[in-house]
Chain A
Amino acid sequence: MQALWLSVRLAASAAAILLLIGIPIAYWLARTKWRGKFLLESVVALPLVLPPTVLGFFLLVAMGANGPIGKLWVALFGHTLAFTFLGLVVASVLYSLPFAVQPLVAAFESVDTRLLDAAAVLGAGRWRTFREIILPLSVPGVITAAVLSFTHTLGEFGVVLMVGGNIPGITRTVSIDIYDHVQSLEYGAADRLAIALLLISFAVLSTIYAVNRRVWIPWPVKRGE
């Protein structure tokens, strides 16, 4: 139970941070005319194709006492970043980055540019246009981004195994706990946790698909058209 709660906390922290940094990145990607944009798009998509062990390995080396992040971190806080909850949050943010940014870019790009032109003609600044037109029209995309990064982090295994260190209550997430139970042949305990994880993931995903398909509408969505 402790592991499940830890995973939920980790996933929620990662999703919140991903929205904060994902929205500006996605907005820039959706609006820029820069020819080199494909480079940033590729970087964002990398965690989709790289095996988690590669990401975990890079993080482990970078966060070690001789690595660039590790040196800075030890100087600031007196301990290394690996094997801490914060270390896992950092890893999860990188790991789930495409799951936040890609739905956001799609949502921002689908906003009718005529509305943006109209807003500009009527004297709205970029910030106001974003706040009052783009963001409200992109609500389903924002929710998809939040939910996908949450669920993806919830199921994270390889990266946590590489940089977590399996500390109960701090880095022993539910996927690691399940793995340990299986290793120790405690199939009953593994079963219970696995089913709990399955149900949570299914509940979260079906809620989001229901909302996006407008099976029911929990809040009034202002449509542009």
Chain B
Amino acid sequence: MALKKIFGKTLLAIVAASCLAQVNFAHKKTVRVAAAADLQSAMPEIAQAFEKQAGTSVEVLYGSSGNFYAQIQNGVPLDVFFSADSEFPQKLEESGFAEPHSAVIYAIGKIVLWMPANARCHPQQDGWKCLQDAAVTKIAIANPAHAPYGMAAVAALQKAGIFDAIKAKLVLGENILQAAQFVQSGNAQAGIIAYSLALSPALQGGKRWIIPVELYPPIEQTVVVLKSAKEKAVAQEFIKFATQGPGREILAKYGFQPPAQ
């Protein structure tokens, strides 16, 4: 009997506590953001600045844009999607998973050829020749099947005419972060990664060469408000903050070229 009473009281306490927690959370609005992996450096600062200014909490998930694209089509409950390209957001608008006309370009992405500091080749001077160096046996890129930075890397390699020569050396990261991690950990000897990642603390010590932008279609990184967004006004406000407000400067600081206004 006594045990039952204790059990009952505990249950009551748990129910009460969870109700209280609900009330507490309902107070503060939350924007749930899916962000392309290359935003891992800049997005925390933008989110923090926005939280301070608007009093809204921001939850960010990072991954490959294609990955999020698939998840959004399958009903993942998110508010805003910062893609690494313009195609996924456009397709989401067309298929009704994003708010019509909400797409805004927030940055023009750049790719770099990155090698560790102790590499014998200097990508800054030798450019593509570094990839044909015998010491380079593995070259990391993001998976071009679903990661925009991977598609850009392949396009640049093809335009430069060396894709077939180095094809056998390619290893594919699940997203651009994993590609960076493959080369940073020394498992691959070179990588084609986002310029913004090359500026991050873990990678800024390496050698890098900014790949000429005419070699690949522009990476117009685009953001959209999703249909599933609960707080559409707040979501819009966050996008405005990131593309026009203080977010624009933060993005520039982390190596994202702002789009022409």
Contact = CB atoms under 8 A, between A and B. Distances in A.
A183 B185 contact: no
B166 interface: no
A79 B217 CA distance: 33
Interface in A147-174: 161, 163, 165-167, 171
Interface residues of A, number: 24
Nearest to B181: A60
B171 interface: yes
Interface stretch (A30-38, A61-69, A210-218): A61-69
Interface in B153-196: 170-174, 181-182, 185-189
B146 A65 contact: no
Interface string B122-166: 000000000000000110100101100000000000000000000
Contact of A83 (B143, B174, B181, B187): B187
B188 A166 contact: no
A183 B172 contact: no
B146 A165 contact: no
B67 A183 contact: yes
A61 to B, nearest CB: 6
Nearest to A70: B186
Contacts of A63: 187
Which of B170, B171, B186 has the largest number of chain A CB atoms within 10 A? B186
B70 A165 contact: no
A44 interface: no
A80 interface: yes
Given A80-B138, A165-B138, A184-B145, A67 B186 contact: yes
B90 interface: no
A187 to B, nearest CB: 10
Contact of A184 (B66, B172, B188): B66
A82 interface: yes
Interface string A81-117: 0110000000000000000000000000000000000
B29 to A, nearest CB: 31
A166 B187 CA distance: 14
Contacts of A165: 138, 140, 171-173, 182, 187-188
Contacts of A83: 138, 171, 182, 187-188
A134 to B, nearest CB: 42
Contact of B185 (A64, A78, A79, A184): A64
Interface in B234-254: none
Contacts of A79: 137-138
Contacts of B185: 60-61, 64, 66-67
B187 A185 contact: no
Contacts, number: 72
Nearest to B175: A183
A70 B187 contact: yes
Contact of B70 (A64, A66, A82, A182): A182
Contacts of B138: 79-80, 82-83, 165
Given A80-B138, A165-B140, A65 B171 contact: no
B137 to A, nearest CB: 4
B73 interface: yes
A119 B136 CA distance: 59
Nearest to A163: B187
B83 interface: no
B222 interface: no
Which of B146, B171, B187 has the largest number of chain A CB atoms within 10 A? B187
B70 A166 contact: no
B206 to A, nearest CB: 13
A70 B189 CA distance: 13
Interface of A: 60-61, 63-67, 70, 78-80, 82-83, 161, 163, 165-167, 171, 180, 182-185
Interface of B: 64, 66-67, 69-70, 73, 137-138, 140, 143, 145-146, 170-174, 181-182, 185-189
Given A82-B188, A165-B187, A180-B143, 17 more contacts: A63-B187, A64-B186, A64-B187, A65-B189, A70-B187, A79-B137, A82-B187, A165-B140, A165-B172, A165-B173, A166-B171, A180-B145, A182-B70, A183-B64, A183-B143, A184-B66, A184-B70
